[in-house]
Structure 1
Amino acid sequence: MSLLTHLLTCLFGMGSWVSINGLWVELPLIVPQIPEGWYLPSYLSVIIQMANIGPLFVTLMHRFRPGALNETAVIYTIISLGTVASFLLGFFWKEPVVVAGASRSVALFVLTFFLAVVDCTSSVTFLPFTMRLQPQYLTTYYIGEGVSGLLPALVALVQGVGVVHCINSTQSLNHTLNSSDGAVTFDLQAQYQPANFSAEAFFFFLSAMMLVCLLAFLLLNYHPSVAREHPSSRYTNGVKQPAQKKRNWAEKKPMMDPYRPANQKPRSSFGTGSYSWLQVCYIFVVLAWVNALSNTVLPSVQSYSCLPYGNNTYHLSVALAALSNPLACFIAMFFPIRSLLLMGALTGIGSAVGAYIMGMAVLSPCPLMVNDTAGGTIIVLAWILFILTLSYVKVIIGVILREEGHSALVWCGAVVQLGSLLGAVTMFPLVNVYGYFSSGDPCNTKCT
């Protein structure tokens, strides 16, 4: 294995979701300066789901016109689009346009749609591209995908996004209209601190990260030391092939399965036939479930589950949960256990922890142990365990499907987007329409 290829694969994977993740962590700075205010997250959720037209198009082309879509050209196009859109956001994100007599952030919405198309389409293009590399680099790609959420969060922390100082505010309450005697009460008021650098600079940073992803992809295709990782260099799935094999052998033939005896009949027509159709359905259902929970369902209520315990608890849970994703991928690099039973067990554990987090969000602003330090510690640990277990499951499913061939990875990306879509469609009305969740005050706890 090449250290350079590991680095390039990680940087390539980093570009998968860095733009949208960066946009979300920058919301506390964006919201006060645009007409939509805190309705913006609702609009962004709808826009991002509309962008699933990108992966839908790629998946349908792969299914009905196989080979008609140049995968490499699509990747170059979407990364370039993401670089330009992020750069333009730095100039136009707060420029309003009057529509039907009201100011609207049209430029922000349009550029967000392009960024969302880039990131959503990466699920069905970036992942299948790893078939051109040896299997070990798939886990490295997932590490890069985890870094795409961690890096913007760390930069936002340095920027000082959402940092709150609790200051004393004094109020005088008169008991009677004709008396000057009154009671003085002391309350804490949340005061958001100014950022260390502007949102414009942050968007330029995101554009630079997309440019790094573009350069990494370019080197993965053309750097001489990476050439042996491609099927054309007589290496397919890490196994040396005879020289007379054609360049596109890996994409037209099923990948060799080292875990199935040569004389055993295929159990299904999916990939190498290592798994029955029931097992294939089980794998994809688990994949959709864990992505729905980790990408949309629980993140949409993270503030409700953590803020009642304090602003520091919230920021700590965000940072450590983002760190847990690449950490799980790093663990999977050394312990790539392909057990379907373990996959189900870890999914059950992650789902149970997720149920606890959801329960605390529903109870907000008065969750369990809200006035106890242990309550904040438990919710932070819950977020770490939740992301750690489900991220490991996602990597293991990716490893399994990678062994089933290029087509399996395309469907893997499509199911990832489908799960995220179903999670978003479920949570949007609960959070934004029916208002089932109530925010906690980071400075004042009004629970008894």
Structure 2
Amino acid sequence: MALLVHLLACAFGLGSWVAVNGLWVELPLIVNTLPEGWDLPSYLTVIIQLANVGPVLVTLMHKLCPGRLKETVVIYCILSIGVISCVLLAFFWDKTTVVAGATRSTAFFAITFFLSLVDCTSSVTFLPFMMQLPANYITTYYIGEGLSGFIPGVVALAQSVGIAKCVNSSQTAGNQTDGGLWSSHTEYLPPNFSTEVFFGLLAVMMCISLAAFAALNRLPRIFDLSTEKLVPDAVASVSSGLENPGAEAAGEGARCQGEAAARSEPLSTSPKHSVYQLTFIYFMVVWVNCATNGVLPSVQTYSSKSYGNLAYHLSAALASVANPVACTIAMFFQNRSLVFLGVMTALGTGFGSYNMAMAAMSPCPLLQGSVVGEMIIVLSWLFFTGTLSYVKVMVGVILRDQSHSALVWCGAATQVGSLVGSLTMFPLVNVYRLFKSGDFCSTRCPS
């Protein structure tokens, strides 16, 4: 029976961020179809930030009408919305409409908002529910949350998106262009399975999470959960969990920080930090989340797609895998030194700066057309995500040990950084058009 509960806890955690993670790793295929093209990631970052209205509304409900909103009802609702949204996405992701004279992916954006609403709200509902179970099941739940990023990345790699070749116009048109030069274009080979199948797999994973929660919801009536078995400082209800804005942060950063907080030592035994140290810590929180949740995701297409669709595919999929791996490493190998975290932040910023520079140089980045260039951009995205994800976890540990209010402000700083990054990049990408797209085969770059 204990093994069954561990499996259910893992499956329940799977539904936390699997939908949004799935969207990101499938972008290399989606951007070739939807009219927004290379600008699509910048739209997604803003939509995900707007979806934080879900946790805010649930929090206000608990503040204004205490005891009215049951945790089981909230979780059943958001998981059901997640299942329905994934199914709708499989059928309507490529449907477009004309808005203000331009073709827009209205169906994709609307469904993405609801998927983001589900995942953002899960950050403040799933963990408080799991706190009602014995402590040894919490770790298993975190493994499931890690798999919510790992599995979509592995599935996307198995999909083999991004295999392409440059085809001369003579192979298809049988003639030459003016001047006697052959023109060429990119021809993408079909993936091992379609985008519709991928979104269907996301729906299946959401169904597994919903079924696991339905089973777990009956466990408190079956098992005798004594006080001694619960996690220290456990949150008995979703209401008390929602009173902490630190849980309302968007993306994987919020999940990792919550995980770190739950595994850290009791507050009473924790060292205190000076005002200057706390200022530095909060600066890291704002900066890291601004970079990872807003700035760099908006230009990921421009930074890596100029090297070819395969490089873009690998950078998106492996970066998604790097996040849960970094969080898992931080769970077992913790270094709270502010000097070390500052170095890690600078290192991650360096990788991010390289990615941004390649995006600014698009469609002619450094080492374009070489295997070395492709390897560097993929590894740069991998280490950018991994190093800064580790910093997020350790910052969550430090501030949780500082005080409860420190973790509250951590959540606020996380949200501010994410929002500033998203809102800053959106006009730069979509209004001022500072980043240029180009076809890997047809673009002619100076040697």
Q: TM-score range by the shorter chain?
A: 0.7 to 0.9
1:96–1:370: structure 2 CA closer, same or farther, 3 Å change rule?
A: closer
Q: How far apart are 1:190 and its partner, in Å? A: 0.5
- 1:383-402 pair list within 5 angstroms: 383-400=381-398
- 1:61-210 pair list within 5 angstroms: 69-94=69-94, 106-129=106-129, 131-132=131-132, 143-170=143-170, 172-173=176-177, 183=180, 185-210=181-206
Aligned length: 421
1:277–1:207: structure 2 CA closer, same or farther, 3 Å change rule?
A: farther
Contact 1:143 1:329 in 2 (8 A): no
Write the deviation string for residues 43-90 of structure 1: whole angstroms up to 9, x where unpaired.
Answer: 544433332211222345567777665444322321121112222333
Contact 1:260 1:274 in 2 (8 A): no
TM (norm. structure 1) is 0.76
- 1:210-225 pair list within 5 angstroms: 210-223=206-219
Task: Provide the C-alpha distance between the structure 2 equivalents of 1:75 and 1:104, rounded to a whole number of angstroms.
Answer: 32
SS at match of 2:186: strand
1:13–1:434: structure 2 CA closer, same or farther, 3 Å change rule?
A: farther
> Percentage identity across aligned positions?
53
- 1:48-447 pair list within 5 angstroms: 48-60=48-60, 69-94=69-94, 106-129=106-129, 131-132=131-132, 143-170=143-170, 172-173=176-177, 183=180, 185-223=181-219, 232-237=226-231, 258=265, 274=272, 282-400=280-398, 415-443=413-441, 446-447=445-446
Q: How far apart are 1:295 and its partner, in Å? A: 2.5
SS at match of 1:189: strand
Structure 1, 123-132 or 17-26: larger mean CA deviation:
123-132
Contact 2:12 2:209 in 1 (8 A): yes
**Structure-2 residue corresponding to 1:267:** none
Write the deviation string for residues 193-224 of structure 1: whole angstroms up to 9, x where unpaired.
Answer: 23443433332221111122223334444447
Task: Provide the C-alpha distance between the structure 2 equivalents of 1:137 and 1:278, rounded to a whole number of angstroms.
Answer: 38
Q: How far apart are 1:191 and its partner, in Å? A: 0.8
Task: Provide the C-alpha distance between the structure 1 equivalents of 2:40 and 2:265, rounded to a whole number of angstroms.
Answer: 50
Write the deviation string for residues 108-141 of structure 1: whole angstroms up to 9, x where unpaired.
Answer: 4433322121122223333555544677776665
Structure 1, 140-149 or 319-328: larger mean CA deviation:
140-149
Contact 2:319 2:381 in 1 (8 A): yes
TM (norm. structure 2) is 0.76
Write the deviation string for residues 319-339 of structure 1: whole angstroms up to 9, x where unpaired.
Answer: 322221122122123213334
Structure 1, 72-81 or 105-114: larger mean CA deviation:
105-114
> What is the letter of the counterpart of residue 229 of structure 2?
Y
1:227–1:43: structure 2 CA closer, same or farther, 3 Å change rule?
A: same
Q: How far apart are 1:95 and its partner, in Å? A: 5.0
Task: Provide the C-alpha distance between the structure 1 equivalents of 2:36 and 2:317, rounded to a whole number of angstroms.
Answer: 27
Write the deviation string for residues 385-442 of structure 1: whole angstroms up to 9, x where unpaired.
Answer: 1111111122223444555788876765565444322221111111111111123433
SS at match of 1:436: coil
Question: Does 1 or 2 have the higher relative contact order (CA < 8 Å, sep 6+)?
Answer: 2
Task: Provide the C-alpha distance between the structure 2 equivalents of 1:75 and 1:406, rounded to a whole number of angstroms.
Answer: 25
Contact 1:257 1:274 in 2 (8 A): no
> What is the letter of the counterpart of residue 199 of structure 1?
T
1:402–1:440: structure 2 CA closer, same or farther, 3 Å change rule?
A: same
Task: Provide the C-alpha distance between the structure 2 equivalents of 1:278 and 1:65, rounded to a whole number of angstroms.
Answer: 39
1:377–1:201: structure 2 CA closer, same or farther, 3 Å change rule?
A: closer
Unpaired segments of 5 or more residues in structure 1?
Answer: 176-182, 263-271
Task: Provide the C-alpha distance between the structure 2 equivalents of 1:26 and 1:255, rounded to a whole number of angstroms.
Answer: 31
Q: How far apart are 1:383 and its partner, in Å? A: 1.6
**Structure-2 residue corresponding to 1:14:** 14
1:404–1:11: structure 2 CA closer, same or farther, 3 Å change rule?
A: farther
Task: Provide the C-alpha distance between the structure 2 equivalents of 1:257 and 1:161, rounded to a whole number of angstroms.
Answer: 40
> What is the letter of the counterpart of residue 120 of structure 1?
C
Q: How far apart are 1:356 and its partner, in Å? A: 1.8
Task: Provide the C-alpha distance between the structure 2 equivalents of 1:87 and 1:215, rounded to a whole number of angstroms.
Answer: 16
Unpaired segments of 5 or more residues in structure 2?
Answer: 242-260
> What is the letter of the counterpart of residue 204 of structure 2?
A
1:410–1:61: structure 2 CA closer, same or farther, 3 Å change rule?
A: farther
Pairwise CA RMSD of aligned residues? 4.2
SS at match of 1:234: helix
1:406–1:380: structure 2 CA closer, same or farther, 3 Å change rule?
A: same
Contact 2:96 2:105 in 1 (8 A): yes
Contact 2:294 2:418 in 1 (8 A): yes
> What is the letter of the counterpart of residue 114 of structure 1?
F
1:202–1:377: structure 2 CA closer, same or farther, 3 Å change rule?
A: closer
1:146–1:286: structure 2 CA closer, same or farther, 3 Å change rule?
A: farther
Write the deviation string for residues 139-189 of structure 1: whole angstroms up to 9, x where unpaired.
Answer: 6655544433332233234334443222233463556xxxxxxx3x34442
Task: Provide the C-alpha distance between the structure 2 equivalents of 1:385 and 1:342, rounded to a whole number of angstroms.
Answer: 16
Q: How far apart are 1:257 and its partner, in Å? A: 8.1
Task: Provide the C-alpha distance between the structure 2 equivalents of 1:9 and 1:418, rounded to a whole number of angstroms.
Answer: 31
Structure 1, 433-442 or 3-12: larger mean CA deviation:
3-12
SS at match of 2:48: helix
Contact 1:139 1:329 in 2 (8 A): no
Mark the structure with the bigger radius of gyration. Answer: 1
> What is the letter of the counterpart of residue 203 of structure 2?
S
1:395–1:7: structure 2 CA closer, same or farther, 3 Å change rule?
A: farther
